[in-house]
Structure 1
Amino acid sequence: MTSSSKILSLVKRESFFDDSFFKDSWEDFDKAVQSILDKFDDTGLKVDTGSRSKCRDVYSRIRSSKIDEDLYASQALQITEKDGKFQAVMDVKDFNPSDLQVKVVDDRVVVEGKYEKKSEDGSSMSSKSFYKEFTMPPSADIDQVATALSKDGVLTVKAPKREGDVATRPAGALTSSSSTSSSSFSSSSHQSSSSSSTISSTKKVSMSSSSSSSFSSSTMSSNMGMDSLDDMAKDMKDRLVFSHENVNLKLPQ
């Protein structure tokens, strides 16, 4: 089967928290910043309307100090699926806007860019490629994906619910994805750097919905017994493997 690909127009907007266009993404980005503070800051900072500016300053310092180690570990990123709609918000301030590209490939949204850094003496330049891939939930309208970039470097990607789609997912419903990841939607990240030597690494991260979700087979009947559910859960444990750099961790039996 031939894959289809379409490059999306990247709409440029005003600063993220000053532009009402992004209002429905503000809470998601606060959560994204909070996750990085929880990971790297030990002062107990909590993001809210009053502390938002201070928290973003602390986040920016963390990002600056960690980005050379790993492009993704300190990147504020939040993915949500609400009422069949998909939304991703991410910090891309450190990536060259002219090299940033968002495209739709089949049922996936791919975000690519480049991170460049000059040496302290300015005599050389190193660069790393930025790659994020998101698999859309089945109810999202892949033909209506829209993206916007604030002038302070926050990128949003949104896909509305497909019109006429009555197959909504109630909270806690068992869902299945056709992607290699086992959650209702997934994100994968790839990073490569170029300088005097070439280094590459690949990370795949299974992203779950902000609401509770679990897994099912598409052939599961509504009256399936508990034994079958247990077998299904065990099968998921067998297949759900997270990889990080060269370390593979498999969930216990």
Structure 2
Amino acid sequence: MSILSSMTSSSKTLSVVQRESFFDDSFFKDSWEDFDKAVQSILDKFDDTGLKVDTGSRSKCRDVYSRIRSSKIDEDLYASQALQITEKDGKFQAVMDVKDFNPSDLQVKVVDDRVVVEGKYEKKSEDGSSMSSKSFYKEFTMPPSADIDHVATALSKDGVLTVKAPKREGDAAAKPAGALTSSSSASSSSFSSSSHQSSSSSTSMSSTKKVSMSSSSSSSFSSSALSSNMGMDSLEDMTKDMKDRLVFSHENVNLKLPQ
């Protein structure tokens, strides 16, 4: 499904509640561990000092993460972004760093069974003569049992966004081990990333560059039964790999600012 077609579906824009700093506000307490995991994943990818995030090292690790993010964001909006998705007992939760995106341009929507997060990243050149602008787009598919009518989102003042959907009331309780009925129907997803770059003394574009890629790091869910030969090890692997379906897209436009 293309981004355009998904956005023409029935959608609802959510109100983003403004909160205090992420680790100082107990409202976010059940997301602290998830964000620590998100930061750890970026440290594991880009830092070679072996830092491990825990309550004692959290501040230092976040400082290192921030430096990594600052140095990498102009290369790729997403590769260095702390992001963690959790689906458990029919509930959905996403926590992500959006500190570098303009809060006034940050928007969260529910589109059918998906959560869409959009924003804008802008940066002036060192001499202040030009502006770089990139659009930010992420899409998450929620599990069938999540209550899409009660999706809630909040933004800490230090730029951590949470999106949560409770389990829909009336759904059957989770089945005990040995009576599992939900499975991953397709362990694949599409990642698309487009970049349009231009630089001129007017607002006209002079060049366009597009890049697309694909990966298999997410899964969608259905109510079909697990095959008889899928044991608990397979289920654990599936849960470990369980991620949101992400569609990444951004545009990069350099405009000459008036003197």
User: What TM-score do you get using the length of structure 1 for normalisation?
Assistant: 0.73
What is the number of equivalent residue pairs in this alignment?
253
Judge which range, 34-43 or 164-173, deviates more.
Answer: 164-173
| 1:4 Cα deviation after fit | 1.3
The CA RMSD measured in Å over matched residues stands at 9.4
* Native 8 Å contact 2:11 2:110 kept in 1: yes
Aligned 1:99-110 pairs, distance under 5 A: 99-110=105-116
* Native 8 Å contact 1:175 1:215 kept in 2: no
* Native 8 Å contact 1:118 1:126 kept in 2: yes
Which residue of structure 2 lines up, in the alignment, with residue 37 of structure 1?
Answer: 43
* Native 8 Å contact 1:12 1:150 kept in 2: yes
Secondary structure in structure 2 of the residue aligned to 1:126: strand
| 1:167 Cα deviation after fit | 6.1
For 1:42 and 1:182, the matched residues in 2 are separated by 30
| 1:130 Cα deviation after fit | 0.4
| 1:239 Cα deviation after fit | 15
| 1:168 Cα deviation after fit | 3.4
| Structure 1 residues 154-174: Cα deviation after superposition (integer angstroms, max 9, x where no partner) | 000000000010163667987
| 1:68 Cα deviation after fit | 0.3
Residues 1:96 and 1:23: Cα distance change in structure 2 (over 3 Å)? same
* Native 8 Å contact 1:177 1:185 kept in 2: no
| Structure 1 residues 90-140: Cα deviation after superposition (integer angstroms, max 9, x where no partner) | 000000000000000000000000000001100010100000100000110
| 1:207 Cα deviation after fit | 15
| 1:202 Cα deviation after fit | 14
| 1:210 Cα deviation after fit | 16
Q: Which has the higher contact order (CA 8 A, sep 6+)?
A: 2
Identity %: 94
For 1:47 and 1:80, the matched residues in 2 are separated by 18
* Native 8 Å contact 2:83 2:96 kept in 1: yes
User: What TM-score do you get using the length of structure 2 for normalisation?
Assistant: 0.71
| Structure 1 residues 52-103: Cα deviation after superposition (integer angstroms, max 9, x where no partner) | 0000000000000000000000000000011110000000000000000000
* Native 8 Å contact 1:145 1:160 kept in 2: yes
Residues 1:170 and 1:28: Cα distance change in structure 2 (over 3 Å)? farther
Which residue of structure 1 lines up, in the alignment, with residue 90 of structure 2?
Answer: 84
* Native 8 Å contact 1:171 1:212 kept in 2: no
Judge which range, 195-204 or 127-136, deviates more.
Answer: 195-204
Secondary structure in structure 1 of the residue aligned to 2:172: coil
Secondary structure in structure 1 of the residue aligned to 2:229: coil
| 1:206 Cα deviation after fit | 15
Judge which range, 242-251 or 179-188, deviates more.
Answer: 242-251
Residues 1:251 and 1:208: Cα distance change in structure 2 (over 3 Å)? farther
For 1:203 and 1:140, the matched residues in 2 are separated by 38
| 1:3 Cα deviation after fit | 2.6
